[in-house]
A and B are shown apart, each in its own frame.
Chain A
């Protein structure tokens, strides 16, 4: 069964550093997403990406964050100047298209900012 792959599974970074979280969505999917889950809290939507541009973003997704699809397979989330409160699980997801039936999540990257 096709999977969404995320790397690394766990990343520790110092406050103020930049991190890039990587995702390989399912190959024939058209929509790509990032979500995050702070420990003990709900999963929260960050951003959706379609046709090489952001289609929706939440209030959380401020100028500190950016997304990119640098080639035909990878989808990245960059966090500039990380803060302690950025510590969370970050989930990538991809979707076949409208209707959201094909939504598939990766296993997540646990980001720890120290």
Chain B
């Protein structure tokens, strides 16, 4: 069964600090891995997308890494801002006919002033 597990479940940091979120997956066949940001009551918004051959990808203050051998990924947020408070979800796409996504449970990040 395809699974995506994330840690920690929740995290509180002070504004301006950095943090790293973790993701482990067992999804087959693997197509790509993406990190989403989801504000409460809203749809997920894509931050980064990485294929099997990509080790790292940045989008502004967000940097994602992927180790396809160990099936692990991380999302590093630098110089956090209050607006970064949200759930960050690791999502793996399966290379099947429907391109369905398997979602992790997310890390709920709270940035405090």
Binding site for B on A (CB under 8 A): 4, 31, 33, 35, 41-45, 48, 50, 55-56, 58, 89, 91, 95, 98-101, 103-108, 110
27 contacts between A and B (CB under 8 A): A4-B43, A35-B101, A35-B103, A42-B106, A43-B101, A44-B103, A48-B97, A56-B96, A89-B41, A91-B43, A91-B44, A95-B99, A99-B31, A99-B32, A99-B99, A100-B32, A100-B99, A101-B32, A101-B49, A103-B46, A103-B99, A103-B101, A104-B46, A106-B43, A107-B43, A108-B41, A108-B42
From A41, A43, A106, A110, residue with most partner B Cβ within 10 Å: A43
From B31, B32, B100, B105, residue with most partner A Cβ within 10 Å: B100
Given A100-B32, A100-B99, the answer on whether A43 and B93 have CB atoms closer than 8 Å is no
Binding site for A on B (CB under 8 A): 31-32, 34, 41-46, 49, 89, 93, 96-106
What residues of chain A lie closer than 8 Å to B49, measured between beta carbons?
100-101
Given A89-B41, A107-B42, A107-B43, the answer on whether A98 and B106 have CB atoms closer than 8 Å is no
Which 9 pairs, one residue from A and one from B, show the smallest C-beta to C-beta distance? A56-B98, A48-B98, A105-B43, A43-B103, A100-B93, A55-B98, A100-B99, A45-B100, A107-B43
Q: Which of B45, B93, B98, B104 contacts A50 (CB 8 A)?
A: B98
Closest to B6 in A: A42
CA distance A107 to B41 in the complex (A): 8
What residues of chain B lie closer than 8 Å to A33, measured between beta carbons?
98, 100
CA distance A35 to B89 in the complex (A): 14
What residues of chain A lie closer than 8 Å to B101, measured between beta carbons?
35, 43, 45, 100, 103
What residues of chain A lie closer than 8 Å to B103, measured between beta carbons?
35, 42-44
